[in-house]
Amino acid sequence: MAPLDDFLRLCADEIERRALADQPRQALLEPGARAFRLAIDTATSLEHPLSDVPLTACLDRLACKTLVPSLLAARQEVPWIASPRGTDGGVERALAPLNEIRDLGAVTCGLMLVGPGCNYPEHAHAPQEIYLPISGDGLWRHGGDPSYRPLGDDALVYNAPRVLHGARAGVDPLLALYVLWT
């Protein structure tokens, strides 16, 4: 089994754990957790050339939280691109669209990396979304709240369809897994 598949399974475990622990939002989070688990359990590999951007040099600066070692072990399998929501060429913000290397069916999944002191622009989209914060001390705008606020270590971010959301990194790089489903 590839290190990336190990990382994704650990992320699914963590999303399920956090969804179950979040009693007030459990009914919102569980469908996304189930959709992600099914997608990675049935995923097949796709051939795609790997790519990189300057910001990935900061991956070595990630705080060593639970999922970071597994991600770093899969580092050579992850295709990074500059975020289309910026013009910085991947210096301040980057995405790793994992659907380019795994067939995940109707689920869209990837990694979001935001450089220290930078932001991921506010945006909205039709599918529901969960962010699994992996490392960093960022601030998040989510769930319809107009303000940015820090998250606890066991938080999941949930965004309903067409709800404006964004993120800001603190002094450390901010890394999160995103999962969109319909």
Give pLDDT tens digits for 140-178: 999 888 999 998 888 999 999 999 999 999 999 999 999
State both tokens at 158.
Answer: 């949930």
Domain count, the chain: 1
Full-model pTM: 0.96
Contact 146, 112 (CB under 8 A): no
So what's the pLDDT on residue 38? 98
Average pLDDT over residues 78-91: 95
Distances (CA, A) of 100 to 25, 43, 125, 167: 30, 12, 20, 24
User: Residue 113's domain is classified under what CATH number?
Assistant: 2.60.120.10
Task: For tokens 């598949």, name the residue.
Answer: 5
pLDDT of the residue at 32: 97
The whole-number pLDDT of residue 137 equals 84
The average confidence (pLDDT) of the chain is 95
Please check the confidence at residue 129 and state whether its pLDDT lies above 90: yes
pLDDT above 90: residue 87:
yes
What's the confidence (pLDDT) of residue 27? 96
Owning domain of residue 8 = 3-181
Q: How many residues does the chain have?
A: 182
Q: What is the pLDDT of residue 144?
A: 86
Token pair listed for 31? 């469908």
pLDDT at 16 over 90: yes
pLDDT at 1 > cutoff 80 = no
The token pair that represents 105 in the structure block: 């069916």
Q: How far apart are CA 46 and CA 175, in angstroms?
A: 24
Residue 182 CB neighbour total at 10 angstroms: 10
The HSE-up count of residue 172 (CA atoms within 13 Å, CB side) is: 16
More confident residue, 50 or 40: 40
Burial of 87 (C-beta count, 10 Å sphere; 0-12/13-18/19+):
exposed
Alpha-carbon span 80 to 53, nearest angstrom: 6
